[in-house]
């Protein structure tokens, strides 16, 4: 992921100025409020990026993910999901600490130790079996906890829906905190490790969310707008650590109600 991220961010920065949506005139306050709530001033460019992403998905990512789900047994796929989550545990741990979440940081540390040893490198989620369920944190969430606004909505090919704050957080996580990135750059610059890691993350994420995103697409008049709304609600729930939204705010998805960004429930015990 770290190898491709800077190129995508440079591409996005280069085209954003040419793709700003027109702000409604101040004489139309209702339209101005709607514009601000959508928070997508780069919508024309974002939609171009969305179309590119959908093309890449249809031509490459979806066929590979579909084949993966048909060829690899569910228990083995669960192991891949667990191993990827375990590799990203240091990122979660650091962000737990930065957010002042001492209890969650200890849980993350304990899970990393037990899953890396008894769980055979994270293939088995032993931590969950002994009553310590996993969670994720990232630097985008940390920035939100520290008071940073989400910034304009941003859609990038392969990386999908995001925002300026989350894009910055993604860069910090993957360049500064990701152990795979550290290892590849400090072991004779072994770039293939990053590409293999990125590929595994993409295929795993696609295989675990494909059914729910397909359902969202079928039920949406405007799939891009539906993804934008779903992503923002999902991120808000992540920042709240699953707590109910404040009164008067947008309703958030629950995992059981078809959250398109939450992994599907495993079909076999981990």
pLDDT tens profile 165-214:
999 999 899 888 888 888 877 766 677 787 888 889 999 999 999 988 99
**85's tokens:** 């989550």
Other CB atoms closer than 10 Å to residue 257's CB: what's the count? 10
Question: What does the pLDDT average to over 59-83?
Answer: 95
Q: What is the pLDDT of residue 199?
A: 87
Taking the model in full, what pTM does it have? 0.79
Q: Where are the domains of the chain?
A: 5-20+39-102+133-257
Tell me if 127 sits within 8 A of 111, measured CB to CB: yes
Residues 62, 67, 71: CA angle, nearest 5 degrees? 155
Question: What does the pLDDT average to over 85-91?
Answer: 95
Question: What does the pLDDT average to over 51-77?
Answer: 95
CA distance 196 to 1: 9
Least confident of 76-90, 144-158, 212-226, 247-261: 247-261
Tell me if 259 sits within 8 A of 253, measured CB to CB: yes
How large is the angle between the packed helices 43-56 and 5-16, nearest 10 degrees?
140
């Amino acid at each position: 992921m770290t190898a491709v991220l800077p190129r995508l961010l440079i591409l996005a920065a280069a085209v954003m100025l040419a793709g700003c949506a027109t702000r409604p005139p101040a004489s139309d306050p209702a339209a101005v409020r709607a514009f601000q709530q959508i928070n997508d001033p780069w919508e024309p460019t974002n939609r171009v990026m969305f179309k590119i992403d959908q093309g890449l998905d249809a031509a490459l990512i979806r066929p590979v993910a579909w084949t993966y789900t048909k060829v690899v047994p569910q228990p083995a796929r669960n192991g891949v999901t667990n191993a990827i989550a375990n590799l990203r545990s240091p990122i979660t741990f650091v962000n737990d600490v930065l957010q002042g979440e001492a209890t969650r940081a200890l849980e993350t540390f304990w899970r990393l130790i037990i899953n890396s040893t008894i769980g055979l490198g994270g293939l088995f989620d032993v931590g969950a079996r002994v009553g310590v369920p996993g969670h994720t944190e990232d630097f985008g969430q940390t920035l939100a906890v520290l008071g940073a606004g989400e910034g304009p909505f941003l859609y990038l090919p392969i990386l999908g829906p995001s925002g300026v704050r989350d894009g910055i957080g993604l860069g910090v996580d993957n360049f500064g905190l990701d152990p795979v990135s550290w290892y590849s750059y400090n072991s004779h610059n072994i770039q293939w490790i990053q590409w293999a890691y990125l590929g595994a993350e993409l295929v795993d994420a696609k295989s675990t969310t494909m059914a729910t995103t397909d359902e969202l697409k079928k039920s949406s008049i405007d799939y891009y707008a539906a993804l934008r709304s779903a992503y923002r609600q999902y991120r808000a729930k992540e920042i709240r650590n699953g707590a109910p939204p404040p009164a008067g705010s947008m309703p958030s998805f629950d995992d059981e109600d078809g959250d398109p960004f939450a992994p599907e429930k495993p079909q076999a015990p981990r």
